Structure 1
Protein backbone atom coordinates (compact mmCIF):
# COMPACT_ATOMS: atom_id res chain seq x y z
CA UNK A 1 0.00 0.00 0.00
CA UNK A 2 1.53 3.32 -0.99
CA UNK A 3 1.11 6.53 0.92
CA UNK A 4 -0.47 9.45 -0.94
CA UNK A 5 1.83 12.47 -1.23
CA UNK A 6 1.33 15.39 1.15
CA UNK A 7 2.43 17.91 -1.43
CA UNK A 8 1.89 19.08 -4.97
CA UNK A 9 4.91 17.89 -7.01
CA UNK A 10 4.51 20.94 -9.26
CA UNK A 11 4.30 23.48 -6.42
CA UNK A 12 6.42 26.43 -7.66
CA UNK A 13 8.30 26.61 -4.35
CA UNK A 14 9.11 22.91 -4.46
CA UNK A 15 10.25 23.28 -8.07
CA UNK A 16 12.58 26.13 -7.02
CA UNK A 17 13.94 24.13 -4.09
CA UNK A 18 14.39 21.10 -6.32
CA UNK A 19 16.36 23.17 -8.87
CA UNK A 20 18.62 24.51 -6.11
CA UNK A 21 19.15 21.20 -4.31
CA UNK A 22 19.65 18.97 -7.33
CA UNK A 23 22.27 21.35 -8.74
CA UNK A 24 24.56 20.31 -5.86
CA UNK A 25 27.09 17.51 -6.56
CA UNK A 26 25.66 14.03 -6.04
CA UNK A 27 22.29 15.26 -4.78
CA UNK A 28 19.15 13.21 -5.16
CA UNK A 29 15.51 13.42 -4.13
CA UNK A 30 13.38 10.92 -2.23
CA UNK A 31 10.23 10.88 -0.12
CA UNK A 32 10.64 10.75 3.65
CA UNK A 33 7.40 10.33 5.60
CA UNK A 34 5.51 11.77 2.65
CA UNK A 35 7.70 14.86 2.21
CA UNK A 36 10.27 15.60 -0.52
CA UNK A 37 13.79 15.27 0.88
CA UNK A 38 17.07 16.12 -0.83
CA UNK A 39 20.13 14.09 0.07
CA UNK A 40 23.62 12.84 -0.68
CA UNK A 41 24.81 10.50 2.11
CA UNK A 42 22.28 12.14 4.42
CA UNK A 43 19.30 14.43 3.92
CA UNK A 44 20.22 18.13 3.67
CA UNK A 45 16.81 19.70 2.91
CA UNK A 46 13.13 18.87 3.38
CA UNK A 47 10.06 20.51 1.89
CA UNK A 48 6.81 20.87 3.84
CA UNK A 49 7.56 19.62 7.36
CA UNK A 50 5.12 20.11 10.28
CA UNK A 51 5.77 22.15 13.42
CA UNK A 52 4.03 23.11 16.65
CA UNK A 53 2.28 26.42 17.28
CA UNK A 54 0.89 26.92 20.77
CA UNK A 55 1.12 23.18 21.41
CA UNK A 56 -0.78 22.20 18.25
CA UNK A 57 0.76 20.59 15.16
CA UNK A 58 0.60 22.77 12.06
CA UNK A 59 1.21 21.37 8.60
CA UNK A 60 2.52 24.03 6.26
CA UNK A 61 3.32 22.63 2.83
CA UNK A 62 5.38 25.74 2.01
CA UNK A 63 8.42 25.32 4.25
CA UNK A 64 12.06 24.50 3.63
CA UNK A 65 13.92 22.73 6.47
CA UNK A 66 17.71 22.78 6.66
CA UNK A 67 20.47 21.66 9.03
CA UNK A 68 22.76 24.58 9.84
CA UNK A 69 25.96 25.22 11.78
CA UNK A 70 25.16 26.39 15.32
CA UNK A 71 26.02 30.07 14.79
CA UNK A 72 23.84 30.31 11.68
CA UNK A 73 21.04 28.36 13.35
CA UNK A 74 20.99 30.61 16.43
CA UNK A 75 20.90 33.79 14.33
CA UNK A 76 18.16 32.54 12.00
CA UNK A 77 16.03 31.07 14.81
CA UNK A 78 15.17 34.60 16.01
CA UNK A 79 13.21 35.40 12.83
CA UNK A 80 9.39 35.10 12.89
CA UNK A 81 9.27 33.09 9.63
CA UNK A 82 11.48 30.38 11.18
CA UNK A 83 10.32 27.43 13.28
CA UNK A 84 11.63 24.18 14.71
CA UNK A 85 10.23 21.36 12.56
CA UNK A 86 8.70 18.32 14.19
CA UNK A 87 10.82 15.21 14.75
CA UNK A 88 14.00 16.60 13.17
CA UNK A 89 14.14 19.93 15.02
CA UNK A 90 15.85 18.56 18.14
CA UNK A 91 18.76 17.48 15.92
CA UNK A 92 19.54 21.05 14.82
CA UNK A 93 17.10 21.53 11.93
CA UNK A 94 15.18 24.75 11.29
CA UNK A 95 12.22 25.31 9.00
CA UNK A 96 11.73 28.49 6.99
CA UNK A 97 8.26 29.41 5.76
CA UNK A 98 8.35 30.45 2.12
CA UNK A 99 5.90 32.66 0.26
CA UNK A 100 5.73 34.95 -2.74
CA UNK A 101 8.20 37.36 -1.11
CA UNK A 102 10.86 34.75 -0.29
CA UNK A 103 14.46 35.64 -1.11
CA UNK A 104 15.45 32.50 -3.01
CA UNK A 105 19.12 33.53 -3.07
CA UNK A 106 19.05 33.31 0.73
CA UNK A 107 17.30 29.92 0.59
CA UNK A 108 19.99 28.70 -1.84
CA UNK A 109 22.71 29.82 0.59
CA UNK A 110 20.99 28.03 3.49
CA UNK A 111 20.56 24.87 1.43
CA UNK A 112 24.26 25.00 0.54
CA UNK A 113 25.21 25.38 4.22
CA UNK A 114 23.04 22.38 5.07
CA UNK A 115 24.60 20.42 2.21
CA UNK A 116 28.05 21.23 3.59
CA UNK A 117 26.96 19.84 6.98
CA UNK A 118 26.01 16.47 5.48
CA UNK A 119 27.61 15.82 2.07
CA UNK A 120 31.10 14.57 2.82
CA UNK A 121 34.55 15.88 1.95
CA UNK A 122 34.69 14.85 -1.73
CA UNK A 123 31.35 16.37 -2.65
CA UNK A 124 32.18 19.58 -0.81
CA UNK A 125 35.51 19.75 -2.68
CA UNK A 126 33.61 19.25 -5.94
CA UNK A 127 31.25 22.09 -5.03
CA UNK A 128 34.18 24.35 -4.10
CA UNK A 129 35.88 23.60 -7.43
CA UNK A 130 32.90 24.83 -9.44
CA UNK A 131 33.12 28.07 -11.35
CA UNK A 132 31.24 31.16 -10.26
CA UNK A 133 27.50 30.96 -10.60
CA UNK A 134 26.64 29.08 -7.44
CA UNK A 135 24.28 29.30 -5.73
CA UNK A 136 21.95 28.75 -8.63
CA UNK A 137 18.72 30.62 -8.02
CA UNK A 138 15.84 29.69 -10.33
Structure 2
Protein backbone atom coordinates (compact mmCIF):
# COMPACT_ATOMS: atom_id res chain seq x y z
CA UNK A 1 0.00 0.00 0.00
CA UNK A 2 1.26 3.46 -0.90
CA UNK A 3 1.14 6.52 1.33
CA UNK A 4 -1.24 9.26 0.18
CA UNK A 5 0.55 11.59 -2.24
CA UNK A 6 -2.13 14.29 -2.34
CA UNK A 7 -3.76 16.88 -0.10
CA UNK A 8 -7.45 16.24 0.42
CA UNK A 9 -7.95 20.02 0.82
CA UNK A 10 -6.28 20.81 -2.54
CA UNK A 11 -8.68 23.14 -4.42
CA UNK A 12 -7.47 21.83 -7.80
CA UNK A 13 -8.30 18.28 -6.73
CA UNK A 14 -11.76 19.54 -5.77
CA UNK A 15 -12.23 20.97 -9.29
CA UNK A 16 -11.05 17.75 -10.97
CA UNK A 17 -13.24 15.68 -8.64
CA UNK A 18 -16.32 17.78 -9.46
CA UNK A 19 -15.71 17.46 -13.21
CA UNK A 20 -15.14 13.71 -12.97
CA UNK A 21 -18.24 13.20 -10.83
CA UNK A 22 -20.34 14.93 -13.50
CA UNK A 23 -19.73 11.91 -15.74
CA UNK A 24 -22.10 8.90 -15.57
CA UNK A 25 -21.59 6.14 -13.01
CA UNK A 26 -18.05 6.95 -11.89
CA UNK A 27 -16.35 6.06 -8.67
CA UNK A 28 -13.13 7.14 -6.98
CA UNK A 29 -10.39 5.17 -5.28
CA UNK A 30 -6.83 5.77 -4.18
CA UNK A 31 -4.40 3.97 -6.47
CA UNK A 32 -0.65 4.11 -5.87
CA UNK A 33 -1.22 6.95 -3.40
CA UNK A 34 -3.24 9.13 -5.78
CA UNK A 35 -6.95 9.69 -6.43
CA UNK A 36 -8.14 7.68 -9.42
CA UNK A 37 -11.49 8.12 -11.16
CA UNK A 38 -13.00 5.11 -12.90
CA UNK A 39 -15.98 3.19 -14.19
CA UNK A 40 -14.71 -0.30 -14.94
CA UNK A 41 -11.30 1.11 -15.90
CA UNK A 42 -9.53 4.22 -14.62
CA UNK A 43 -9.99 7.26 -16.84
CA UNK A 44 -8.10 9.85 -14.75
CA UNK A 45 -5.55 10.12 -11.98
CA UNK A 46 -4.87 13.22 -9.96
CA UNK A 47 -1.12 13.70 -9.72
CA UNK A 48 1.73 11.88 -11.34
CA UNK A 49 5.48 11.57 -11.60
CA UNK A 50 8.18 11.85 -14.20
CA UNK A 51 11.73 10.54 -14.19
CA UNK A 52 14.20 13.40 -14.67
CA UNK A 53 17.93 12.68 -14.69
CA UNK A 54 17.31 9.31 -13.05
CA UNK A 55 15.19 10.73 -10.20
CA UNK A 56 11.41 10.62 -9.82
CA UNK A 57 9.92 14.11 -9.75
CA UNK A 58 6.42 14.33 -8.31
CA UNK A 59 3.75 16.39 -10.04
CA UNK A 60 1.02 16.59 -7.42
CA UNK A 61 -1.25 19.02 -9.29
CA UNK A 62 -1.54 17.25 -12.62
CA UNK A 63 -4.39 15.32 -14.12
CA UNK A 64 -3.33 12.17 -15.96
CA UNK A 65 -5.68 10.99 -18.71
CA UNK A 66 -5.96 8.52 -21.56
CA UNK A 67 -6.43 10.08 -25.01
CA UNK A 68 -7.67 8.37 -28.13
CA UNK A 69 -4.64 7.28 -30.19
CA UNK A 70 -5.47 9.79 -32.93
CA UNK A 71 -5.57 12.64 -30.37
CA UNK A 72 -2.60 11.65 -28.20
CA UNK A 73 0.15 13.55 -30.05
CA UNK A 74 -1.87 16.77 -30.11
CA UNK A 75 -2.63 16.49 -26.40
CA UNK A 76 1.03 15.91 -25.59
CA UNK A 77 1.91 19.13 -27.47
CA UNK A 78 -0.25 21.15 -25.05
CA UNK A 79 1.62 23.51 -22.73
CA UNK A 80 2.40 21.72 -19.47
CA UNK A 81 1.78 18.23 -20.90
CA UNK A 82 4.11 15.29 -20.33
CA UNK A 83 4.25 11.51 -20.62
CA UNK A 84 4.07 10.31 -17.00
CA UNK A 85 6.31 7.60 -15.58
CA UNK A 86 5.04 4.06 -16.15
CA UNK A 87 1.73 5.17 -17.66
CA UNK A 88 3.10 7.29 -20.51
CA UNK A 89 4.17 4.25 -22.50
CA UNK A 90 0.55 3.05 -22.42
CA UNK A 91 -0.76 6.29 -23.91
CA UNK A 92 -1.47 8.27 -20.76
CA UNK A 93 -0.69 12.00 -20.68
CA UNK A 94 -0.22 14.28 -17.67
CA UNK A 95 -1.44 17.87 -17.81
CA UNK A 96 -0.30 20.62 -15.47
CA UNK A 97 -3.07 22.33 -13.50
CA UNK A 98 -2.50 25.93 -12.41
CA UNK A 99 -4.41 29.01 -11.39
CA UNK A 100 -4.87 29.82 -15.09
CA UNK A 101 -6.12 26.38 -16.15
CA UNK A 102 -8.95 26.38 -18.68
CA UNK A 103 -11.42 24.22 -16.75
CA UNK A 104 -13.76 23.86 -19.73
CA UNK A 105 -10.85 22.26 -21.59
CA UNK A 106 -10.10 19.99 -18.62
CA UNK A 107 -13.76 18.91 -18.61
CA UNK A 108 -13.52 18.03 -22.32
CA UNK A 109 -10.26 16.14 -21.79
CA UNK A 110 -11.74 14.17 -18.88
CA UNK A 111 -14.79 13.33 -20.99
CA UNK A 112 -12.58 12.19 -23.85
CA UNK A 113 -10.60 9.95 -21.49
CA UNK A 114 -13.87 8.60 -20.10
CA UNK A 115 -15.01 7.81 -23.67
CA UNK A 116 -11.76 5.86 -24.22
CA UNK A 117 -12.12 3.72 -21.12
CA UNK A 118 -15.79 3.42 -20.09
CA UNK A 119 -18.10 0.63 -21.25
CA UNK A 120 -20.16 1.55 -24.32
CA UNK A 121 -23.39 1.41 -22.28
CA UNK A 122 -22.07 4.37 -20.23
CA UNK A 123 -20.58 6.26 -23.17
CA UNK A 124 -24.06 6.29 -24.79
CA UNK A 125 -25.26 8.35 -21.80
CA UNK A 126 -22.94 11.22 -22.80
CA UNK A 127 -23.95 13.93 -25.25
CA UNK A 128 -22.78 13.28 -28.81
CA UNK A 129 -19.21 14.43 -29.34
Q: TM-score interval w.r.t. the shorter chain?
A: over 0.9
C-alpha displacement of 1:53: 3.0
Deviates more, 1:52-61 or 1:103-112: 52-61
Question: In the TM superposition, what are the counterparts of 1:85-104 in structure 2 within 5 Å?
Answer: 85-104=84-103
Counterpart secondary structure, 2:60: coil
Q: When the two structures are superposed, what TM-score results if normalisation uses the length of structure 1?
A: 0.87
Is there any run of 5+ residues in structure 2 with no aligned partner, and where? none
Moved over 6 A (4+): none
Deviation of 1:4 after TM superposition, in Å, equals 3.2
Query: Residue in 2 aligned with 1:44?
Result: 43
Q: How many pairs align?
A: 128
TM-score (norm 2): 0.93
| Residues 41-120 of structure 1 aligned to structure 2 (within 5 Å) | 41-120=40-119
After superposing the two structures, state which structure 1 stretch, 41-50 or 79-88, moved more: 79-88
More strand by share: 2
Gap runs ≥5 in structure 1: 130-138
Aligned partner of residue 65 in structure 1, secondary structure: strand
Aligned-pair Cα RMSD in Å: 1.5
Q: Equivalents in 1 of 2:4, 2:72: separation in Å? A: 29
